[in-house]
Amino acid sequence: MRVKSSLREAHNTDTALPKHAAVRHILEGMGFAEGIHTAGQRAKADLEAAVEAYAPEFRKRHRRYNAVLGKKTYRPPSQVDLKFLMQYLEKPLADLYAAGWARQYDRKMAIAYLGIQLRDPG
């Protein structure tokens, strides 16, 4: 029987844990304060402002996120906006949480509010 000697070693044994941390960090940077557990939807204008402030940090950590999430490209994106991050997180949200984006449209059929919706995994 082997006893885990450190917290770091315990974390390395669970391969999903770094993915959860990366997705949560990106969601928090996008403006979802509590990550996947954020209740309700956020206004698109507020999310765009949060993404604009978060973009330099995302570019700096892009290689690490790609390595953790199993994405193949390592070149930082030239433009980080809300649409890019929605597409970037589409598959990790579905794989890790059986979740997806919940969109609410305005009269002009443009996204007005955005949220995270848990889906039935079946």
For residue 21, CA distances in Å to 48, 92, 107, 120 come to 22, 11, 36, 22
Per the structure, the complete domain to which residue 90 belongs is given by: 11-118
Measure CA 58 to chain center: 11
Q: Helices (H) and strands (E) in the chain — how many of each? A: 4, 3
Would you state the pLDDT for residue 51? Answer: 95
Total number of domains constituting the chain? 1
| Domain annotation covers residue 112 | yes
* pTM across the whole model: 0.79
Please, are residues 51 and 42 in contact by the beta-carbon 8 Å criterion? no
Picking from 119, 57, 44, 120, the residue whose alpha carbon sits closest to that of residue 86 is 44
Q: What is the pLDDT of residues 30-78, one digit of tens each?
A: 999 888 888 789 999 999 999 999 999 999 999 899 999 988 877 888 8
| Domain annotation covers residue 6 | no
